[in-house]
Amino acid sequence: MRKVFFSLVIPSVLLVLLVLSVDLTSARSFNNDFETGDLTDWEKDGEAFDFQPTWGDNPTARNRGQPSKHQGDWWLGLYEKFQGPDKGKKAGQNPGQTQGDGPQGTLTSIEFTIIGETMNFLIGGGNHPWDKAPAPCCVNLEIKGKVERTATGNATETMSRKEWDVSDLKGKTAQLVVVDNNSGGWGHPNFDDVHQADSKGENIPWDRVLAVDARGKLAVTWAQMKKYY
């Protein structure tokens, strides 16, 4: 009888200690490449993102001569106004349609912990830097509202992959902010497919990134706790 009692009580005590020491969160992914076809995990402000993400190679559809080179089907192209064969068609949009450089706004991601050595992403559009232009269009990495890293396009619709060294920011809670504060020539950013990468340059799955809490501990899920029963 005593053995049965301890076999029931000890796992329960361990479970309580685990609950008190870490945050209970279930691993989930992040809409890092906009393949949901919407702005899930991002919060927009202003009008620039009303028709985002865009679908397909819209610059080529309008004969721009600068292919977007996006990943998947969906991406942020702030000059574009075509949301695909379903949503776009229902809204009366056509491939190649644009909204121009006029609309402005920002798009802010959910919070995540930096656990990688680097961050890489596709970026294009205008070259209006955060720290040099009065009206920037860029992508920023922010921690507690402070811009720690920033990047712009190279005045072409074609996106290329860029990388930030974030090794000194490990363990900190950050957000990505896509900024479109420019209505002049090349007054728009393009953005897609952002990842954190380890020391070998291999991308880290976002469900692993989001399973780490702000204290840098791996959060325990109910599934993981079953091993203590």
Quick one: pLDDT at residue 205?
96
Q: Kindly report which listed range (2-11, 72-81, 135-144, 173-182) carries the lowest average pLDDT score.
A: 2-11
Q: How far apart are CA 106 and CA 158, in angstroms?
A: 21
Beta-bridged to residue 173, according to DSSP, are 113
Q: Is 224's pLDDT higher than 90?
A: no
Confidence grade of residue 212 (pLDDT, cut at 50, 70, 90) = confident
Query: What mean pLDDT is predicted for residues 93-109?
Result: 97
Say what the pTM is: 0.83
**pLDDT, position 215:** 54
Write the pLDDT tens digit of every residue in 16-62: 434 434 444 456 799 999 999 999 999 999 999 999 999 999 999 99
pLDDT exceeds 80 at position 135: yes
Q: Give the least confident one: 31-40, 103-112, 128-137, 148-157.
A: 128-137
Mean pLDDT of 134-160: 97
Q: Can you give the pLDDT at residue 108?
A: 98
Percentage above 90 pLDDT, the chain: 78
% residues pLDDT > 70 (the chain): 81
